[in-house]
Structure 1
Amino acid sequence: MLRIRLHTLTHDGLVDDYGVLSSWERNEDCCHWRRVFCNNLTGHVQYLDLSGLYDNPLVPNIGLGYTVRRLKGQIHASLLELKHLVYFNLSYNYFPNTHIPQFFGSLSNLESLDLSHSYFSGQVPPQLGSLSKLLYLNLEDNKLNGSIPYQLGNLSSLLYLSLCYNDFEGTIPSELGKLSSLEQVCLGGHATFGASTLDNGGGQWLTNLTSLIVLDLSEVINLNNSYIWMQILVGSYLPHLQELHLRTCFLSDHYLTKFMSNFKSNSSSSSLRSLDLSNNYFESPMIFKWISQVNPNLVILDLSFNSLKGPIPSDFGTAMTSLQELYLTGNRFTKGKDLRSLADICSLMELSLTENNLDEELATILQNLSAGSCYGHSSLFILFLNMNQITGEFSSISTGFPSLIQLSLAGNRLTGKIPEDITLPSKLESLSIGSNFLTGGIPKSFGDACLNSLSLNNNSLNEELPLIVNHLSGRCAGNSLQELDLSTNRINGTLPDMSKLIPFLEVLKLNENNLRGTIQADYRFPSQLATLELDSNSLEGVISDSHFANMSKLKYLSLSGNSLTLMFSQNWVPPFQLEEGILLRSCKLGPAFPKWLQTQNSSLIDISNTGISDVVPNWFWEKLAFPMPMDVDISLNNLTGKIPNLPIWPSYVDTLNLASNQFEGSIPPFLSGAYILDLSSNMFSESRLFFCAYNNATIGMPISMLSLSNNTLSGSIPNCLSHFKSLVYLDLSHNKFKGKIPTSIGSLLNLGILILRNNSLTGKVPLSLRSCTNLMRLDLSENKLSGPIPSWIESLHKTLTMVSLSSNHFHGSLPLNLCHLTNLHLLDLSLNNLSGQIPICFKNFTALAQISTPINVSLRFQVNIGGDIIFRSVNYMAILMWKGAQRIFIEKHLFLKSIDLSSNQLSGKIPTELAELFGLVSLNLSRNSLTGTIPSMIGRLTSLEFLDLSRNQLSGSIPSSLTQIYRLTMLDLSHNHLAGVIPTSTQLQSFNASSYEDNLDLCGPPLPKLCKEVVKPPLPPPQDEDASVLSLGFYISMALGFATGFWGIFGSMLCKILSSENIKTGDNKKGDVQLYNHLAYQAFNFHKAAKVGPVVPSAVIAPAQVIGDFVIVSTLQHEVVWFELQD
């Protein structure tokens, strides 16, 4: 009977993706099932462990040696049949939108109940207060809300209670004070708690918990409003208290002053050993004086992430005679002398000063930390000085710290070569000096130290690798070294025989260096390697089965970005299991799809741009259903055929990149189970099944980023978007969609970027879109949309930064509602039928009025992948069309601030108020019917680099203030009625005469028509070459709108987005700003270019001109000049 009940629990409720309960299918006594334990005498089930924590080598590790295999679904009431259940563990599972069942309160024999880390929501059922035998209750880290039920105070036998990290409201019930047996309690982690909510008695009920050993009130905010109950915590009321955690409680010096005035020295708790006050608002060194008075017997003290500065009191070190671990990470200490008192703590074993502002030479800081009463016999084992501003050379540290085992100096400003005669502490095992400015190589003395781990990544080391490895193979390190990270340096030379010189290496990172040469057929890597990273070098050769024959422990392999060919025997079965990653981008794997991948269950696969020309086998798609987080990139190949509509649900796929292949046919709906999906630049022709197959599903699709751009999708956009509620990014550009924009798009409330450019969409912009109040970038350009510019657009004023509606059929006047978009950085309404005047209120574009305010080009958002929160971001790329030339801008920290109203029917004067938009970089008002004069104050737009006022009816003279815009590099005032002398300046005379042609009576250089009087041009002020916002990188890089795209683990490739129909030539010269998607998965390097003539071969990515590392796509007087990008 029990077997049937347990079987019902799994088959009628729980979903077991990982096969955790696979043994429950057997027709045998349930007491023999895994996770089930019975009483030997009675046969009753007493122990049921369904925790998601499990030691499984195929599932990603979450730390502490455990991995996660989550159950999900519903919890069946058949559990009630287990009347003798004593222990029940459901922790680390995934039960979103599921309440804790009330019937748990009927399991009357329960002594331990663990529901932690499982995404339960709703209120804690008061029925749990009936479990009179309960000793252990853990509900931490869920989504529980409401008030804490006072009935929990009836659990008189309870020893352990954790309610941390939920969303409770109201007061902590004083009835918890009846739990006199409690030894450990955690009530923190609720942002809505405050000191006033402890109860009306100010927490007096805590005095009854005399058995408490551990108390955690972290993230209980505003505790500094009360000091009375704080005295209770550190005083004699809790005589057994050993650990006190008050992290993120908004404690401050103000509170501390109040407390110390009421402090009685005889009330301190001698039992307290560990105190956590991290992430609060302490600034004064007073905190050290208070701690040394309250409890000088502390063993562990954490003051990380406060704002502490100034000298630590001199008597602190001598008072803290038992302190072993001191954490001061994330404070504001600047000088070594401020820390001198720490040198008197002879018991100190671990000291962390990470992320402070230490800005002295390393030798000075080390001297201050070792010059106290403990000099020569310091017990310090671990010292973290990383992520400061420490300068000088890497100097000897052996004298002052003879016991040092681990030292981190990463992320500082150390310079020069490491001295050859440097001596490391004899016991040192781990040394990290990465992310500094060190040059040269590694001295021989490092080989004499018995190092286990050495990290010198991200420096400027430039020695030959064989010499470095030879130095490390010295007396001790050669046999002790297990981890070596020399990545991101300038190390050159070939690969030495590390299997003999450093045979016990487990982690080897040599990526991003200048390694060269051929990996010979008989080369062998160290057999103990678990991680091998050689990517981004210039290695050559053929990698075969024999190279990996002895590498059974390998878990992570990265060979990307080399000129390597992987050639394995047809039926090769690798001796390893690359569970952590397979990165082979730009290696040669093809033309056949690599069969050996079928044996691998990896969380990260990148075989992009590897020359595969094949059909993807079904077994590869089926791997997407493997219940573990995955990132998969097979883009930039020649993969063909249709993707089968498999009955799988890849709910654990983080990123799936299939871009730039030749996939065709219908997009199968199972792909919508991925969280980030890139299908751009393929030949897919049908999308209705993908969008609508799960339209009636009760649970929305998890996908957050979706790009279907540059396919051949046709028909209308399916009106089945309402269940894609997690979408943050949607790109359907460059397809053949027609008809209206579906109204269901308004249900995508999380949408931040929407790109529908270059389709044949008609009708008005749907009113429902105004519900997308998180929208930051909107690109509807190059369609056939009509009607007026929607006035409701002002409802998006808090978030909208970029709008491109160019190349449509919009008509009417510019609505004044646009002026409410104060965060707007880019507005492109060009190539429409808009009429009327330019609104004066455009001056309200406050973001355009700011010169130096950087734009956040990255939209950060979170993705919930199987219960784990992963952060992702969306970046964008920009392209500017100027006189027939497309220029790509892929700058990470800047973006064009632009207004483009060109090619409309606008009339009236140019508002003088536009001169208040001081941050404008590009202004294009060409091809309208504007009259009057150019505003005399236009020279105030000192950030301006692009100005096109051509083909209007402007009159008068060119304002002399235009000479004040020293950054101006593109100017077109032609085809107007301007007259008079062209003002003289270095800039204005540098433009071609065509910039001024066809005006009424302009004269002076660069026009051939001379004026009667020549004015000597003023000298421009001196200016840094790099001061321009639009440097060479920008001219190669600005936007025809805003282009947005993916950024993930892999990088991004710009492919197939620039085609000949995008190039505007001849009379269609305009500064049209367009938005292109940029799928940021891989860095794209432009190398040498070869001119191949006016016919575009299929291999050409874009018509291009290369200047250095940049690409310019250009047309010169109707003649298209094509360039092919070559490796």
Structure 2
Amino acid sequence: MGRGGSFNSFGGPIPDGLQNLTSLEHLDLRSNNFISSIPTWLHKFTRLEYLSLRGNRLEGQISSVVGNLSSTIKSLNLDYSEVQGKIPTSIARLCNLRSISIIGVKLSQDISQIIDIFSGCVSDVIEIVDLRDNKLSNQLINELGQFKSLQGLLLGDNMISGHIPSSLGKLSSLQAVSLSNNKLNGTLSEIHFANLTSLLAFYVSGNSLTLKVSPDWVPPFKKIKSLDLGSCNLGPQFPSWINSLEHLLYLDMSNSGILGTIPSRFFKSIPRRLKHFNLSHNHIYGEIPSLSEATQLESVDLNSNSLSGPIPFIPFNIRLLDLSNNALAGSLFHFLCSERNEAKHSMEFLILANNSLSGELPDCWMNLQHLSVLKLGNNAFTGALPASMGSLTSLHSLQLDHNNLSGPIPASLQNCAKFIENVLVVMKGRELEYNTMLKLVRCMDLSGNNLSGDIPEEMTNLVALQSLNLSHNFLTGKIPENVGAMRSLESIDFSGNLLSGRIPQSISSLTFLSHLNLSDNNLTGKIPLGTQLQGFNASCFAGNNLCGAPLPKNCTDQNVPIPAENENGGEDEDEMGYWLYVSTAFGFVVGFWCVIGPLLINRRWRYKYCHFLDRIIAKLGCL
């Protein structure tokens, strides 16, 4: 038995010399950089059972040459291989084909046509059909029920429309179904699941389906581990049949039209193995039941409901808690600082934005050493930022905007050595939403609070920060002189504060800066020269007493104050530049009339000066 070379950096065409290895049973060329069409000589491998060309740069169509593979072929993988076109009808001759996987190559084909191709001798043996992320269209047909050996039907991220045929419920060997993110509609009923006793994973989110079963329905898939019904209409009642699924690890019932409260028994009867639970974007109200008995939970997403009351106690091993966009109230003190919750070592994402939480931010953030994302914006928190926030050394995202926070910005925030990567940021004049897992932007947003005092000079140590928004506070003092050290900054918004003094010259060295808003402060003096700064709109500097481009106000106007000294006691460099230009012009005038002027007036002096120049030139010629 021979094997090919995968996960290398081979390039060029697939070597023709391989065709001499006619005894090959396993040929794995995946994850290389071959640029070639599918070789026509593959039919020479009369014993070949496994072929993978995944992750190469294959050219052209999936030609009929695939159908010429040996009848012994059992597994074919062309994932992400850049082939085009359609699955050829010749593939129907591969009567021993157990698995076919062609993911992400944009097959433009009718899914009913593919079912017809496999409906011959292949239908008796095929176990895995994985055609996710293509351009498959049209409708699933009832002939789907003939694939008695099918274990995996993976057709997510396509454009398949229409109803799911009831014949799906006949596939008793089926273990995994993925139909997410298509254009499916209609109703799923008990008949669609009648014989799915082997089902372990079922994904149908991102469609327009309705699940309609009797109130006392007991699902036949007792061993299911992953159930994704996001965007399916399950409501209005909370589905009681969920409690019978004792092996669930992942459950998503988001955006499913559920109306009412979460049953108090749910988190008591919920499977002890459940790790991920998503009930977001529903119409759930009332208080959140205690989660203390759900000891295996790692993520809970209840965002965008109408939940009220305090934040409950949670198991210490939860990594993600998203309760944003609700009506939760009360303090964070007991949630974060009580002895019962001291050991939340595992929490990485705490998202509580857009609620009615109030009180001061507790000073016990050292309990969440692994916290990566903290979103507390749009609440009613008051008081100062606690110094213990500086202990969040793993922090990637910090959102505290639109609260009633006051006092100075603690210098301890410089300890957040990851620079900060936000989920929701007010950047470049508009609100942008980013997925925290994609790590697209690094920013700090403390806008819309009552923060006062100076901007800490230590903040300039965050040299990888890309967006800094401190707008609409009561910050005073000067813009840090060393702001230019933050070389990665793309966006600065200090608008709507009480900042004074001049704009530091170092800001002109921020070559990546594409958004700047310093409006509505008490800044004075000349806008530093630099291609970045002069390229911004004048509104970025409005509401100050500044001069120079891009403002129409000239710095020579008498009503524009130019600071006389900088903080080191020397002359301001803008003023020095101004007087340098004046003195240069004056010196030129004096020098001209003192030297050239007499030569123009006195003829004898002109004669002697010309002879003097002749002698100098003659001496230079002798050197």
- TM-score normalised by the chain length of structure 2: 0.78
Q: Which amino acid aligns with 2:267?
A: W
1:772 partnered with 2:392: yes
1:211-234 C-alpha deviation (Å, 9 max, x unpaired): xxxxxxxxxxxxxxxxxxxxxxxx
Specify the alignment match of 1:935 in structure 2: 528
Pick closer, same or farther for the CA change 1:643–1:913 going to 2, 3 Å.
closer
Q: 2:216 corresponds to which letter in structure 1?
A: N
Residue 267 of structure 2 corresponds to 621
Q: Please list the CA deviations of residues 914-952 of structure 1 after superposition, one character each: whole Å capped at 9, or x if unmatched.
A: 11100112111111222333323234888x799711122
C-alpha offsets along residues 828-881 of structure 1, whole Å, 9 cap, x if unaligned?
222233333323311111323xxxxxxxxxxxxxxxxxxxxxxxxxxxxxxxxx
Please name the residue that 2:544 is paired with. Answer: 952
Which aligned pairs between 1:1079-1094 and structure 2 lie closer than 5 A? none
**Distance across 1 between alignment mates of 2:412 and 2:312:** 36
Deviations 1:638-684 (A, max 9, x none): 123334447x5222122221222223334432566533222222233
Which residue among 446, 458, 464 is the counterpart of 1:805?
446
Mapped pair 1:537 → 2:182: yes
Distance in structure 1 (CA, Å) of the matches to 2:48 and 2:143: 28
**1:837 aligns with one of 478, 485, 506:** 478
Whole-angstrom CA distance in 2 between matches of 1:946 and 1:442? 59
Amino acid at match of 2:26: I
Corresponding residue to 2:25 among 381, 399, 403: 381
Whichever residue aligns with residue 774 of structure 1, its letter is S
The answer to whether structure 1 residue 908 and structure 2 residue 501 are counterparts is: yes
2:124/2:147 contact within 8 Å kept: yes
Distance 2:369 2:504 in 1: 36
The equivalent residue for 1:221 is none
Aligned-partner SS, 1:785: strand
- Structure 1 residue aligned with 2:306: 662
Matches within 5 A, 1:404-415: 404-415=48-59
Partner of 2:568: none
Residues in 1 aligned to 2:333 and 2:477: alpha-carbon distance in whole angstroms: 45
Q: Does 1:923 align with 2:516?
A: yes
1:749 corresponds to which residue? 369
| Corresponding residue of 1:336 | none
Q: Is the 8 A contact 1:469 1:498 kept in 2?
A: yes
Q: Distance in 2 between matches of 1:598 and 1:798?
A: 41
Greater helix content: 2
The aligned residue for residue 296 of structure 2 is 652
The correspondence of residues 272-291 of structure 1 with structure 2, limited to 5 A, is none
When residues 444 and 752 of structure 1 are mapped into structure 2, their CA distance, relative to the original with a 3 A threshold, is: closer
State the Cα distance separating 1:512 from its structure 2 match. 1.3
Kept in 2, the 8 Å contact 1:497–1:525? The answer is no
Please give the alpha-carbon distance, in whole angstroms, between the structure 1 residues aligned to 2:189 and 2:44. 50
User: Cα distance, 1:452 vs. partner?
Assistant: 0.5
In structure 2, the residue corresponding to 1:568 is in which secondary structure? coil
Q: How far did 1:687 drift? A: 5.8
Amino acid in structure 1 at the alignment position of 2:371: L
Contact 1:922 1:945 in 2 (8 A): no
Change (3 A) 1:843 1:745: same
Shift of 1:507: 0.9
State the AA in 1 paired with 2:393. T
Question: How far is the alpha carbon of 1:629 from its aligned partner?
Answer: 4.7
Query: What is the DSSP-based 3-state SS (H/G/I as helix, E as strand, rest coil) of the residue aligned with 2:33?
Result: coil
Runs of 5+ consecutive residues of structure 2 not aligned to the other structure:
421-441, 558-623
Question: Does the 8 Å contact 1:922/1:946 carry over to 2?
Answer: no
Q: Distance in 2 between matches of 1:551 and 1:479?
A: 18
Equivalents in 1 of 2:2, 2:273: separation in Å? 36
- Say whether the 8 Å CA contact 1:920–1:941 is kept in structure 2: no
Task: Report deviation, 1:461.
Answer: 0.8
* 1:370 aligned counterpart, secondary structure: helix
- Distance across 1 between alignment mates of 2:2 and 2:293: 47
Residue 31 of structure 2 is aligned to residue 398 of structure 1: no
Letter in 2 for 1:828: N
Pairwise CA distance, 1:525:
4.7
Deviations 1:975-1031 (A, max 9, x none): x67899xxxxxxxxxxxxxxxxxxxxxxxxxxxxxxxxxxxxxxxxxxxxxxxxxxx
In the alignment, the residues of structure 2 paired with residue 733 and residue 479 of structure 1 have an alpha-carbon distance, to the nearest angstrom, of 53
1:452 alignment partner in structure 2: 98
SS at match of 2:465: coil
Q: Confirm whether residue 443 of structure 1 aligns to residue 88 of structure 2.
A: yes
Asked if 1:588 is matched to 2:208, the reply is no
Q: Is the 8 A contact 2:309 2:328 kept in 1?
A: yes
723, 730, 738: which one aligns with 2:343 = 723
Q: Provide the secondary structure at the position in 2 that maps to 1:416.
A: coil
For the 8 Å contact 2:333–2:361, the answer to whether it is kept is: no
Check whether the contact 2:326–2:354 (CA below 8 A) recurs between aligned residues: no
Aligned partners of 1:634 and 1:658 also within 8 Å: yes
Q: Name the SS for the 1:511 alignment partner.
A: coil
Counterpart check, 1:782 vs 2:434: no
Distance in 2 between the 1:587 and 1:470 partners? Answer: 29
Aligned partners of 2:200, 2:284: CA distance in 1, in Å? 27
Larger radius of gyration: 2
Distance 2:392 2:487 in 1: 22
- In the alignment, which of 287, 300, 304 is matched to residue 642 of structure 1? 287
- How far is the alpha carbon of 1:490 from its aligned partner? 0.7
Contact 2:156 2:181 in 1 (8 A): yes
Q: Give the letter for the 2:109 counterpart.
A: E
Q: Does residue 684 in structure 1 map to residue 304 in structure 2?
A: no
- The alignment covers a number of residue pairs equal to 533
Paired with 1:559 and 1:479, the residues of 2 have a C-alpha distance of: 26
Q: Distance in 1 between matches of 2:477 and 2:323?
A: 42
Q: Which residue of 1 aligns with 2:431?
A: none
Contact in 1 for aligned 2:162/2:183 (Cα 8 Å)? yes
Contact kept? 2:317, 2:345, Cα under 8 Å = no
Equivalences for residues 882-901 of structure 1 within 5 A = 897-901=490-494
Q: 1:631–1:655: 8 Å Cα contact kept in structure 2?
A: yes
The separation in 1 between residues aligned to 2:497 and 2:230, in whole angstroms, is 46
In 1, the alpha carbon distance for the partners of 2:74 and 2:149 equals 15
**TM-score, structure 1 normalization:** 0.44
1: CA distance, partners of 2:269 / 2:217: 19
1:603 corresponds to which residue?
249
Cα offset, 1:634, TM superposition: 1.5
CA distance in 2 between counterparts of 1:654 and 1:793 reads 28
2:519 and 2:544 in contact (8 A); partners too: yes
1:463 aligns with 2:109: yes
Matched to 1:695, the amino acid is S
Q: Deviations over 1:239-279 (max 9, x none)?
A: xxxxxxxxxxxxxxxxxxxxxxxxxxxxxxxxxxxxxxxxx
Correspondence for 2:214 = 569
Q: Is the 8 A contact 1:521 1:542 kept in 2?
A: no
Q: Which amino acid aligns with 1:571?
A: D
Question: What CA distance in whole angstroms lies between the structure 2 residues aligned with 1:941 and 1:502?
Answer: 68
What amino acid is the match of 1:440? G
Q: What corresponds to 2:8 in structure 1?
A: 356
Greater mean alpha carbon deviation, residues 485-494 or residues 568-577: 568-577
> Cα distance, 1:514 vs. partner?
1.3
Give the distance between the partners of 1:356 and 1:382, measured in 2 at CA. 17
- Which of 68, 72, 79 is residue 427 of structure 1 equivalent to? 72
Distance of aligned partners of 1:568 and 1:808 in 2 relative to their CA distance in 1, 3 Å threshold: closer
Give the fraction of aligned pairs with identical amino acids, expressed as a percent: 33
